[in-house]
Structure 1
C-alpha cells in the first residue's frame, strides 16, 4: 500500500504544468479556496496567466456579502450546487461596508468613511475574496460626491481592472472618472448631462456603463466614444409597476414587479434589444413572466414585496426580503428553479453577484 501511495504521488508530481493547470481550472469555485492551501506549487499555479485564462471559462458563481466583515459571508457554486461560507475579515475595517459592484471576481466596496476616518466622502476599496487581497483606492481627482460606480471586466493581464465612478464635481458638473490598475491612478474620462443617477444595479456591458436615473429612466454611457443616451423603462398594463436593472451574460434586462393593494402580484422581464433604425437604436422585448404558482411561493418566502435580483452567467437570481432561498430564472432555457437553502441563518446579508469570470491571480500593490 505504501508503494502504491508513493507511485500515485510520483505520477501526480510528474504531470506537466499545463495539464495540471487545465485540471485545476475545471474545479468549481468553492474548491479553489481549499486547493490553494495544498502546497506552494498549486498556490503558484493559481496566480499564473495560463491558469487564469482557463478559470475564466468556468461556471458562474455568486457571493452573498455581509456588511460586517467579521461575520461570515456565503458563496454558491452552480457546478456543485452547494453553499460554502467565506470570510471577508481580511478587509481591515470594523465599520459596515457596502459592496456596490463586481466584475471578474473582484468586489468593489465603499466604506462608511465618516464613521471610520471622519471623512465626508466614502473611501472606495477593491478586493478579491478568492485570494483574500485588498486595496484602498486613492482619492479621486474631480468627484466630490459619488452618484454611481462600477467595476469593469479585466483586461488581457490577470491583474488588470478598471473602476468607473460617476459623480458631482466641486464645480457642479457631472463627470466620469476611471481608475486603472496598471497606472494606479484616476483620470477624468468625460462628462455627462446633468441627470440624477441612482446608485443601484450599476454595471458595464458591451462598452457602456448602465445605471438608473432618478426620473425612472436608464442611462447608458459609452466609455470609448463619450456618448450618453437616456432611455425610458419598459411599461406594462399595470398601475403600480417598479423595475430593477439587471445584467447577465446574455444581455441587459429590466425586472418589473407588479403590486396590487400592497401585494406582489407578478414579475415581468424585458430584454434590451439593440437595433439600427431611423428613429431609435434600441427597444424593450418582453421575454417572460414569473408563473403564478412560482410567484405565490416566492411571496410566501418573505414578509414584504421587496426583493433583490442579480444576473449571474445566463441566470437572473431573485431573493425575497430576508428569505433563506434563492429563485433562479435561466434566460437560455426560460426555466425557473429554486437553489438550495442557506446552510446557516444568515438572512441579514445583501446579495452581491460575482460574474462567471474568476480573477484568481490578482495582485494588489
Structure 2
C-alpha cells in the first residue's frame, strides 16, 4: 500500500460510525439512570430506543439505577394531590391528581417511585400505585383498625434479583386489647396479606403514641416521632421495638448516608444530627448514652431564602438534599454543592412525600 495515501474511507463514514457507536453506548449504559419524563421524550429518537425503553427489563433496570428524589407530592389547599417537581424539565406524571385511581385518595407514604394512598370512602381502602405508568393495586382489608390517620410507612427497595416489585407497609396502631400499647400491622406484597407482629410496645401513653406523619425507614428499621419528642423504633427483621429518648419534639426524621438523622431549626440555621449507633440500635429507655453524633449546622443562602430567620420548617431530608418551607414557598439545599435554590410551586401543606420518577412496574 502506498504510505502516502489514506485508506478508502470518507470522513462522513467515520462520523457516522462514531455517532452510531455513541448512540449505542448511551442506549445501553446511560438511559437507565434517567427519570421517566426524559425517557418518554427519548422515545422519539429512533425505533431501537423506543423498543428498549418500553421493555419490562429496561423498566426494572431504571427502577434500580434512577433513585434520586425528583419532586414531591403534596396535598393542595382543596385536599387534592399535586406534584411539585424540583426541576420541571426532568420530572412529571400524566395525572398528578391521581384521578386514574377508582376514588379520591389521601397520600399516606411514598417510596422509590411508588405511592401508598388511602381512599376516602367508608372502607378506607389502601392503594399502591405508580403515577408514571398509572398502574395501581387495591390492597386487601386489614383485620385491625388503623385509626383515622394511620401511621403508615411504605417500604420499597428495588432489587436486582426481584424482577417483580416487592414492597411492605408498616402501620403502628394503638392496641385495642392492651390499653396504652402500640402494635404493628405489616402488609407484604409477596403474600398479599396483612399480619400483626407479635411485638407489643407497652407503656405508650398518649404522649408516646407515634405521630402518623413522621415515619421513615432506614436500613430495616422504621422510626416514628412521638408527641413527647421520643422516637419509637421497630426492627422489621427482629420484630422488636424500643423507645429512643430524644427529649425534643421539634424537627423531622430522615435518612442521611444510611443512618437515621434528625433536622431541627434554630434561629437562622438548621441542625443536622445523626443517630450514633444505627447498626445495633441498642439505645434503651433511660439510657444516658449519647444518642446523636455527627451534628452539623446548615445555613441557607439568605439571598435566596430572604429574611425569614426562624420562620421556616423542614419538610424533607435525605443524603442529597434538604427541603425547607417558608411562607408558602419551598427551598432546596444541596448537601454536595451547598447551593440553595427555590422550588417552583406553593407548599401550603406541612407534609410532602418525596417522589422518584421511576418506571417500576406493579
TM-score normalised per structure 1: 0.73
Cα distance in 2, alignment partners of residues 242 and 213 from structure 1: 10
Cα distance in 2, alignment partners of residues 36 and 171 from structure 1: 56
Q: Which residue of 1 aligns with 2:355?
A: 354
The aligned runs of 1:140-155 (5 Å cut-off) are: 140-145=142-147, 147-154=150-157, 155=159
2:65 to 52, 57, 61: 57
Q: Shift of the alpha carbon at 1:197?
A: 0.8
Cα distance in 2, alignment partners of residues 246 and 143 from structure 1: 27
The RMSD of aligned alpha carbons is 3.9
2:218 to 202, 205, 217: 205
Q: Does residue 326 of structure 1 match 2:328?
A: no
- Bigger-Rg structure (1/2): 2
Q: Which residue of 1 aligns with 2:38?
A: 31
Q: Shift of the alpha carbon at 1:60?
A: 0.9
Name the SS for the 1:215 alignment partner. Answer: coil
Q: Does residue 274 of structure 1 match 2:274?
A: no
Change (3 A) 1:23 1:306: closer
Q: Shift of the alpha carbon at 1:203?
A: 1.4
Check conservation: 1:312, 1:354, Cα contact below 8 A.
no
Cα distance in 2, alignment partners of residues 205 and 123 from structure 1: 26
The aligned runs of 1:154-173 (5 Å cut-off) are: 154=157, 155=159, 156-158=161-163, 159-172=165-178
Greater Cα offset, 152-161 or 92-101: 92-101
Q: How big is each residue's C-alpha offset from its partner over 1:226-251, in whole Å with a ceiling of 9 and x where there is no partner?
A: 2212112276xxxxx82221224442
Q: Does residue 221 of structure 1 match 2:234?
A: yes
Greater Cα offset, 83-92 or 144-153: 83-92
Cα distance in 1, alignment partners of residues 127 and 33 from structure 2: 30
1:99 to 75, 97, 107: 107
The aligned runs of 1:67-78 (5 Å cut-off) are: 67=75, 73-76=83-86
Q: Shift of the alpha carbon at 1:296?
A: 8.3
Greater Cα offset, 31-40 or 310-319: 31-40
Q: Which residue of 1 aligns with 2:5?
A: none
Name the SS for the 1:183 alignment partner. Answer: coil
2:339 to 330, 337, 351: 337
Q: Shift of the alpha carbon at 1:285?
A: 1.6
Unaligned 5+ runs, structure 1: 236-240, 259-263
Name the SS for the 2:214 alignment partner. Answer: strand
The number of residues matched between the two structures is: 326
Check conservation: 2:175, 2:182, Cα contact below 8 A.
yes
Q: Which residue of 2 aligns with 1:48?
A: 56
Q: Shift of the alpha carbon at 1:36?
A: 6.0
TM-score normalised per structure 2: 0.73
Cα distance in 2, alignment partners of residues 148 and 36 from structure 1: 40
Change (3 A) 1:98 1:62: farther
Name the SS for the 1:214 alignment partner. Answer: coil
The structure carrying a bigger strand percent of its residues is 1
Unaligned 5+ runs, structure 2: 1-12
Change (3 A) 1:118 1:32: same
Check conservation: 1:22, 1:51, Cα contact below 8 A.
no
Q: Which residue of 2 aligns with 1:316?
A: 322
Name the SS for the 1:143 alignment partner. Answer: coil
Cα distance in 2, alignment partners of residues 51 and 310 from structure 1: 27
Cα distance in 2, alignment partners of residues 20 and 265 from structure 1: 46
Change (3 A) 1:54 1:288: same
Q: How big is each residue's C-alpha offset from its partner over 1:100-122, in whole Å with a ceiling of 9 and x where there is no partner?
A: 322221112233x2xxx234xx4
